[in-house]
Structure 1
């Protein structure tokens, strides 16, 4: 089994693998094209970046700068908005539902590195998918940790670190993020 196959299967894999390096290099080229293209020429998402993503729904918009690790694991529903400075480390599938908005500098992580320093030094990590449902609002500089699912209509407060699933309709804030109140 290749390191990419292990990554895709949710098993421990070596991120220092040449095939994974090549995929990240392709993503860096697409990200670079998106980030340096004049806004009027780029449109909502540079064509190179849109072609890299698994799915891009209608009327999505990614403000520059933007960064992703692979892009191939990122699926956007319709009318998804990323503000400037967002980072998606998509070592596993990242699914973002319709009408979801991400504030500036939101970060989504899928990789968990080995706790043992010797294994970590060898590049071992495991990837956990992140699922963000529909009509979610994620405030600026929030961090979504590996394996988290956020339910429909949830709100994530600015600067929050989301370490656990967020039920539909819930507002969370803080580090770690905790329920603030249900909203309507």
Structure 2
């Protein structure tokens, strides 16, 4: 197997061979262009991301600056919005559903290194997929670790470190991130704590 094949299949691999290095370099060049365009050049920004990312819908926006390793392992659904400083280490597949919002400084890390220093010093890495469902809001400064699935209709509180799967229809916060309660129809009435929404919005 090539190092890329190992990477994509969840096996230990080395990232500094010619193939993977050149693919990361290509992504860096594309991201540099994306991050340095003027705010008024939204069409060019979207064009770059459509070339770089694996699968995107027409209705999405990622506020610069943005960082990723390869791009082609990232799939995003309809109505995706990411605020500033999103980082996605997409050494494995990252799948993001429809109607997902990221606050600033969200980081998705599919990649990791062995705990024991001997393997780590030999530049061994691993990568496991991250899956995010529909209608998810991820708060500012959240870190999602390798191999995590976040279900549908989930809110992840700011500053959380997600180390285990999060079930659908829940609010989860903390380090490590834990579910604190479910989301119910009662939540439709409020926009912040006990501040009520208007009847129509």
Give yes or no for contact 2:91–2:111 (8 Å, CA) kept in 1: yes
Residue deviations 1:122-166 (CA, integer Å, cap 9, x gap): 211111000000000000100001000000000000000000000
In 2, the alpha carbon distance for the partners of 1:97 and 1:127 equals: 20
Give the aligned partner of residue 140 of structure 2.
140
Gaps of 5+ in 2: 185-201
TM-score of the superposed pair, with normalisation by structure 1: 0.96
Instruction: State how far apart, in whole Å, the 2-side matches of 1:183 and 1:43 are.
Output: 37
TM-score by length of 2: 0.88
Structure 1: distance between partners of 2:80 and 2:155 = 15
Q: For the structure 1 residues 94 and 44, does the alpha-carbon distance in structure 2 shift closer, same or farther, using more than 3 Å as the test?
A: farther
Unaligned runs of 5+ in 1: none
Equivalent position of 2:182 in the other structure? 182
Q: CA deviation at 1:17?
A: 1.6
CA distance in 2, matches of 1:11, 1:19: 17
Query: In 1, are the aligned partners of 2:112 and 2:125 still within 8 Å (CA)?
Result: yes
Deviation above 2 Å: which 4+ runs of structure 1? 42-46
Output the CA distance in 1 between the equivalents of 2:37 and 2:167: 38
2:53 alignment partner in structure 1: 53
